[in-house]
Structure 1
Amino acid sequence: MDRPYTILSCAMSVDGRIDDTGPERLRLSNEADFAEIDELRAGCDAILVGAGTLRADNPRLLVRSAVLRERRREQGRTENLLKAVITRGGDIDPKARFFTTGDAGAVVYTGGAGVDTATRLLSDRPEDHPPADVVDAGDPPTVDAILTDLADRGVERLLVEGGGHIHTLFLTSGLVDELRLAVAPFFVGEEDAPSFVRPGAYPYTPRTPMRLVEARSLGEVAVLRYCLTSEENG
Structure 2
Amino acid sequence: MMNRPHTTVVLALSADGKIADVARKAAEFSSSIDRAHLERQVAEADAILFGAGTLRAHGSAMSLRNSDLIAARNQQQKPDQPLQIVCTRSGNIPTEIRFFQQKIPRWLLTTKQGAKQWENQNLKSTSRFDEIITFETANQEIDWEKTLSELKNKGIENLAVLGGGELVAALFQQQLLDELWLTICPVLLGGKNAPTAIEGIGVSAENAQQLKLLSVETIDQEVFLHYSIARE
Counterpart of 2:109, as a letter, is Y
Matches within 5 A, 1:176-191: 176-191=177-192
User: Is residue 95 of structure 2 the alignment partner of residue 94 of structure 1?
Assistant: yes
Secondary structure, aligned partner of 1:144: helix
| Alignment partner, residue 133 of structure 2 | 135
Secondary structure, aligned partner of 1:42: helix
Deviation of residue 107 (structure 1)? Answer: 1.4
Deviation of residue 132 (structure 1)? Answer: 2.1
The whole-number CA distance in structure 2 between the counterparts of 1:124 and 1:77 is: 33
Secondary structure, aligned partner of 1:175: coil
User: Does the 8 Å contact 2:64/2:81 carry over to 1?
Assistant: yes
Deviation of residue 131 (structure 1)? Answer: 4.8
Deviation of residue 125 (structure 1)? Answer: 4.6
The whole-number CA distance in structure 2 between the counterparts of 1:202 and 1:17 is: 18
Instruction: Using structure 1 for the length normalisation, give the TM-score.
Output: 0.87
| Alignment partner, residue 63 of structure 1 | 64
Q: 1:25 to 1:201 in 2, by over 3 A?
A: closer
User: Does the 8 Å contact 2:26/2:54 carry over to 1?
Assistant: no
More divergent stretch after superposition (132-141 vs 115-124)? 115-124
Counterpart of 2:91, as a letter, is G
User: Does the 8 Å contact 1:33/1:218 carry over to 2?
Assistant: no
Q: 1:147 to 1:185 in 2, by over 3 A?
A: same
User: Does the 8 Å contact 2:42/2:82 carry over to 1?
Assistant: yes
User: Does the 8 Å contact 2:24/2:57 carry over to 1?
Assistant: no
Q: Where in structure 1 are there 5+ consecutive unaligned residues?
A: none
Q: 1:205 to 1:97 in 2, by over 3 A?
A: farther
The whole-number CA distance in structure 2 between the counterparts of 1:176 and 1:203 is: 19
| Alignment partner, residue 84 of structure 2 | 83
User: Is residue 190 of structure 2 the alignment partner of residue 192 of structure 1?
Assistant: no
User: Is residue 153 of structure 2 the alignment partner of residue 115 of structure 1?
Assistant: no
Q: Where in structure 2 are there 5+ consecutive unaligned residues?
A: none
Counterpart of 2:7, as a letter, is T
Q: Deviations over 1:181-221 (max 9, x none)?
A: 11112211223222222243559956751111112212111
Q: Deviations over 1:44-84 (max 9, x none)?
A: 10001001111111122201212211222232211111011
Aligned pairs, number: 228
User: Is residue 160 of structure 2 the alignment partner of residue 159 of structure 1?
Assistant: yes
User: Does the 8 Å contact 2:45/2:82 carry over to 1?
Assistant: yes
Q: What's the RMSD between the two structures over aligned residues?
A: 2.4
User: Does the 8 Å contact 2:210/2:230 carry over to 1?
Assistant: no
User: Does the 8 Å contact 1:99/1:132 carry over to 2?
Assistant: no
User: Does the 8 Å contact 2:88/2:109 carry over to 1?
Assistant: yes
Instruction: Using structure 2 for the length normalisation, give the TM-score.
Output: 0.88
Secondary structure, aligned partner of 1:70: helix
Deviation of residue 175 (structure 1)? Answer: 0.8
Counterpart of 1:18, as a letter, is I
The whole-number CA distance in structure 1 between the counterparts of 2:125 and 2:205 is: 42
| Alignment partner, residue 7 of structure 2 | 6
Deviation of residue 130 (structure 1)? Answer: 7.2
User: Is residue 62 of structure 2 the alignment partner of residue 33 of structure 1?
Assistant: no
Deviation of residue 15 (structure 1)? Answer: 1.1
Q: 1:87 to 1:214 in 2, by over 3 A?
A: same
